[in-house]
Amino acid sequence: MTQQQPATQTAHQTGHRWIVMTAVFLATFMTSVEVTIVTTALPSIISELHGLAFQSWIMSAYLLTTAISTPIYGKLADRLGRKSVFLWGVVVFTLGSWLSGLAPGIHLLIAARALQGIGAGAVMPLTFTIIADLFEFKERARVMAFNNTAWGLSALIGPMLGGFLVDTLSWHWVFYVNIPFGVMVFVLVWFGYGPKDRNLKNARKEKIRERHAQRKLSLDVKGILLLAATLVCALVGVQYLETQLIVSVVLFVAAALCLALLVVTEHRAADPLISPAMFANRTFTIQMLTVSLVSGVLIAYQVYFPIWLQSLYRMQPTTSGMVVSASSIMWLISSFFVAMILRKFVPKYVVLVLLGIEMVFYIILSVAGLSFPVWMFYVTAGINGAIIGIIVSMGTILVQHLSTPDTVGSATSVLTLGRTLGQTLLTGIYGATLNFTLNAHRGSIPFSTISASISSESGVASTPEISAVILQGLHSVFFVVIALLAVAIALNLLDPNKRIIK
């Protein structure tokens, strides 16, 4: 009887784990589909609410509050527990979705989107943290590969679902669709996730957890304010990068100063928001930076491959958009190999080889002409998806593994913040680079003519002169990508770890 009890308990806990994993899967899908589904509905939203002047803030408000709140929630999760913070995030995200659907005007919609982002700041990083709690290091890669399918499904289904809802109902339903997902996630986590599900290997970790649970919660207010100021200046600076360069530069300088003050403050704080001790491990820091950089590379092919195919090859939007689908599919497939890669190879060398392969493709693109074969874009996007999928999944697992038990939540949230910033900041930099190059080489061609010829459905013919200017602009974007990859390679050459991590 006594011998059967542990087995029964293990089976019971295993059942609970997969109830929670179902919730995590749904939460990942819910927060990731939010971006693709809203993007599809933007033209209808702008038209009905007369919000063209504020259209960028529909997405930026969501990203900004997500970025600011992510590390705060990571800290709270380490102090108050994953369950309560995660459930709070689900409630706020669902409430924000409901209010977004109800919004009668553009300003209220932007405010509701900001509320959504505050909820997403808890949900997105804590899905990874809960996986780290529930599964051992050896199991984690397999489970994350399963959870990545939710992200892949959102990338494939989101645009189609958004178009269907807008065509058959209205744009309001692209927000309402999140409400049933939010309710299901809340119920599953409420009843399925408890303290006994925490994956603690020994009594020492249990004592650490109890000590932190008993510690009086003290928020690093200075750290929170400085982090918020840094992110606001940086992200708003990106918004002005293309239109008001001087304002953008001032904001970037202010962001750098706030960041410097944040570093000083966190070193002095008794209980810092982002603990400097986490970055004492050089491998940990390099993984963080690498994931942030390759997340920025992700935007390059997702945005500019379709532009190349539409503007230069006059392909239809649906066909050119399949480039992103190829990337998503290969990301999913490659993530299932991460566990095997970690068991057999040193992470440093894996990343260096993968980044080297990726750089070769972008060097080719940076000199490619108008006769470059169409199929190479799909191959390049697929290989990019596979490479970035491996690097991001492996980086997430390693960052969690190299963290102490009481900083797993904070470390995961900082990694999530890095991914968000990498994508958001590089989006602005790529756009500014493209526009600067187009203006420098367009000669007497009106910029409005070039802009109109970008879309294959605009009806504006793309003359050889216009095509040559657009091609130079796209080349300049890929030169930026090559520079990013070079920085990532240089960082990983400095990684001191030369052993397989177990």
Query: What are the tens digits of pLDDT across the range 184-195?
Result: 989 888 887 765
CA Rg, the chain, in Å?
23
Distances (CA, A) of 15 to 11, 20, 25, 181, 325: 6, 9, 15, 21, 33
Contact 61, 80 (CB under 8 A): no
Q: Is the pLDDT of residue 208 over 80?
A: no
pTM of the model: 0.76
316/327: higher pLDDT:
327
Contact 487, 293 (CB under 8 A): yes
Q: Is the pLDDT of residue 9 over 70?
A: no
Q: Is the pLDDT of residue 2 over 50?
A: no
Between the ranges 216-220, 276-280, 498-502, where is the mean pLDDT highest?
A: 276-280
- Name which CATH class applies to 278-502: mainly alpha
Contact 198, 209 (CB under 8 A): yes
Average pLDDT over residues 248-271: 90
Q: Phi and psi of 403, rounded to 5°?
A: -90, 155
What percent of the chain shows pLDDT beyond 90? 18
Do 1-214 and 278-502 agree at the fold level? yes
- pLDDT tens for each residue of 349-395: 999 999 999 999 999 999 998 889 999 999 999 999 899 989 988 88
- pLDDT tens for each residue of 65-107: 887 888 888 778 777 777 888 889 899 999 998 998 888 888 8
Tokens 């697992």: give the residue.
397
Average pLDDT over residues 172-193: 85
The tokens describing 325, both together, are 């689908």
Q: Is the pLDDT of residue 43 over 80?
A: no
CA dist 145 and 151 (Å) reads 10
Average pLDDT value over all residues in the chain: 80
121/47: higher pLDDT:
121
**Cβ neighbourhood burial of 460 (10 Å; 0-12, 13-18, 19+):** middle
455 band by pLDDT with thresholds 50, 70 and 90: low
The tokens describing 405, both together, are 């038990």
* CATH code for the structural domain at 1-214: 1.20.1250.20
Tokens 């657009």: give the residue.
470
For the chain, domain boundaries: 1-214, 220-272, 278-502
CA dist 375 and 380 (Å) reads 9
Q: Which region among 64-68, 202-206, 438-442 has the lowest average model confidence (pLDDT)?
A: 202-206
Contact 322, 448 (CB under 8 A): no
pLDDT of residue 85: 86
CA dist 399 and 284 (Å) reads 6
